[in-house]
Amino acid sequence: MIGLLIISHSAAIAQGVKELAGQMAQGKVPIAAAGGTHDGQLGTSVDLINAALETLQGTDGVLALVDMGSAVMSAEISLEMSGLPFLLSGAPLVEGALMAAVEALHPGANLARVATAAMRALESKNIPEHTPALVPAKATVAEPEPATNSAETTLIVHHMHGLHMRPAASFVQQAAKFTSTVRVRNLDRPERPEGNAKAMLDIMKIGVSTNQRLYIRAEGDDAAEAIAALTRLVEGNFGEA
């Protein structure tokens, strides 16, 4: 299992990002945080980072994310002293930690994969330079023909937050349990690209809001089982009241 180390000049920020990433990973990914100095001031402390790293001993590697460049030196000193395999990420702290936490849940996830997911984090915002015209609801998108050993469905996402944050993380984790390729599309936002259901970034990029239509297609030996499980998850409101 890959562990995450969150380093910020602010103790509150470090703990907040740890909490957010921990919720995304449902407490299944080791995450440590170090922020501020011993006397509660803004800054970084090698001793505090060392203490945080102690909680990550036994992991297969550590991905460290920092808030500002001046934290890099302290992080490097502590990481090199720890004896753990590590990568120091230049990804944005919050988005990078969230994407890394979800990627770390995947079976066989390694340090390089988790680091790559973190670096792609800003793509999830998908903010255009100029706001585009709104796409009318129920825009028509052609649904592809199912292939051999495939299954498909179109579901309405009723969750109050759509397919974002915790629901998205649950969806990705469920899809990752199957060997089949699982692709998704937002039928009400045809300008958004089709995505890989096992990639948190892709799920965020399709931008499914509440009451929008989610098209899911699976191809592979367990395609029907994948579609059935994802259907239960969506129709069960992702296990939330």
Q: Is 9 a catalytic residue?
A: yes
In a domain, 173, yes or no: yes
Both 69 and 174 in a single domain?
Answer: no
Distances in Å between the Cα of 219 and the Cα atoms of 84, 107, 129 are 39, 19, 36
Both 96 and 194 in a single domain?
Answer: no
Query: Of the residues 124, 139, 166, which one is the last residue of a structural domain?
Result: 124
Both 160 and 116 in a single domain?
Answer: no
Give the total number of structural domains in the chain: 2
Q: Which residue has the tokens 């509660």?
A: 40
Both 24 and 118 in a single domain?
Answer: yes
In a domain, 49, yes or no: yes
Query: Of the residues 124, 139, 169, which one is the last residue of a structural domain?
Result: 124
In a domain, 136, yes or no: no
Both 66 and 119 in a single domain?
Answer: yes
Annotate 105-144 with b (16+ C-beta within 10 A) or e (fewer). Answer: bbeebebebbbbbbbbbeebeeeeeeeeeeeeeeeebeee
In a domain, 145, yes or no: no
Both 12 and 118 in a single domain?
Answer: yes
In a domain, 137, yes or no: no
Both 19 and 105 in a single domain?
Answer: yes
Q: What is the pLDDT along the chain (241 residues), one digit of tens a residue?
A: 999 999 999 999 999 999 999 988 888 999 999 999 888 888 889 999 999 999 999 999 999 999 886 788 888 989 999 999 999 998 889 989 999 999 998 888 899 999 998 888 777 655 444 444 444 444 445 555 555 689 999 999 999 888 887 888 889 989 999 999 999 999 998 888 899 999 888 888 888 989 999 999 999 999 999 999 999 999 999 888 6
Written as one letter, the residue type at 27 is G
Give the pair of three-digit tokens for residue 179. 């060997």
Cβ neighbors of 29 (< 8 A, separation 6 or more) are: 1, 2, 3, 4, 21, 22, 101, 104, 105
In a domain, 155, yes or no: yes
pLDDT at 7 (0 to 100): 95
- Give me the CATH number covering residue 168: 3.30.1340.10
Written as one letter, the residue type at 134 is L
User: Per the confidence metrics, is the pTM higher than 0.75?
Assistant: no
Residue-number span of the structural domain to which 103 is assigned? 2-124
Both 9 and 119 in a single domain?
Answer: yes
pLDDT at 135 (0 to 100): 45
Both 111 and 195 in a single domain?
Answer: no
Both 106 and 174 in a single domain?
Answer: no
In a domain, 221, yes or no: yes
Both 46 and 157 in a single domain?
Answer: no
Q: Single out the catalytic residue among 9, 38, 106, 130.
A: 9
Helix axes 93-103, 11-24, angle to 10 degrees: 30
pLDDT at 183 (0 to 100): 96
In a domain, 142, yes or no: no
Residue of 35, 32, 37 lying closest to 11 (CA atoms): 35
pLDDT at 140 (0 to 100): 46
CB 117 within 8 A of CB 103: yes
- Give me the CATH number covering residue 107: 3.40.50.510
Residue by residue, DSSP assigns 176-193 as TTSSSEEEEEETT-TTSP
Both 12 and 96 in a single domain?
Answer: yes
